Amino acid sequence: MQTDVRQVADGTYLVHGSNTNWVILTEGDAVTLVDTGYPGDRERVLASLAAVGSSPEAVSAVLVTHAHNDHLGSAEYLRAAYGTPVYLHEAEVPHARREFLHQVSVGTVLKNGWRPGVLPWAVHAIRSGGTTEVPVTAPEPLPSAGPLDLPGRPVPVPTPGHTDGHCAFHIPGTGVVISGDALVSGHPTSRTKGPQLLPDMFHHERARAVASLTAFEDLDGDILLPGHGPVHRGSVREAAALARERAA
């Protein structure tokens, strides 16, 4: 199993899992893990921590951009096995507990099966645990609106629409923006390359997802780390503006 771990800035690593990315922020021996891939990505998550000289015991917290299975996959495992706190935007906490599910349905995927890439993606998603129940037993709301007292000092940036409580993270000192699924640079079901919204079927409220692009237009950054697709280097403001144009 190959784990694609790439250092993109000081103390910041983008990891490409199986169709989904996560980010590791390091500070000495401690790390912050942002997202955890699919349930089937667990070995890759652990290998990526080892690749940056860390371990699951050294994870200060897991930050989850949103509670879809391809981002939430190993959050409960880390919480239960190592006592790692799992933080989300307060509106996303009940979603992580699976009090409700804002995730594309199998029926909707099948209706879109004629689109290029959808059926291969769906098969991969199911095999990777995309429909598995992986609720977080005790998720916690983000402790503050400003810089978090965690490795990397990430700043939460609420970006609702993809889900009610989707939240991106800004690392002002490095120019890094971790955008989750609110702004991506590619996806197996999209023919577009570069900054974009995910295809419509993936958003709980597409209009809000489009509106949330303004949050990125307010950020000073030049390294975009999306939930799907490669790192995008260049003005995050311009990337968000391009995604807005493409969504029109």
More confident residue, 144 or 137: 137
Please identify which residue in the block is written with the tokens 């949050």: 215
The answer, yes or no, to whether residue 246 has pLDDT greater than 80, is yes
Cα 169 to Cα 2, 105, 132, 213, distances in angstroms: 27, 27, 27, 13
Identify residue 248 by its one-letter amino acid code. A
Token pair 């500070």 is found at 27
How far apart CA 196 and CA 210 sit, in angstroms, is: 10
What is the rounded average pLDDT for all residues in the chain? 94
User: Is the distance from CB of 20 to CB of 228 less than 8 angstroms?
Assistant: yes
Residues 63-114: tens digit of each pLDDT: 999 999 999 999 999 999 999 999 999 999 999 999 998 887 777 877 888 7
Residue 193 CA to residue 229 CA, distance in Å, equals 8
Q: What is the pLDDT of residue 1?
A: 59
Please name the residue that has the structure tokens 């429909």: 131
Q: pTM to 2 decimals?
A: 0.95
CA atoms within 13 A on the CB side of 167: 25
Tens digit of pLDDT for each residue in 155-180? 999 999 999 999 999 999 899 999 99
> Rounded distance, CA 108 to CA 221, Å?
35
| Average pLDDT for 19-38 | 96
Q: How far is CA 142 from the centre of its chain?
A: 15
Name every residue whose Cβ is closer than 8 Å to that of residue 236 and which is 6 or more positions away in sequence. Answer: 177, 216, 219, 220, 221, 222, 223, 224
pLDDT at 217 over 70: yes
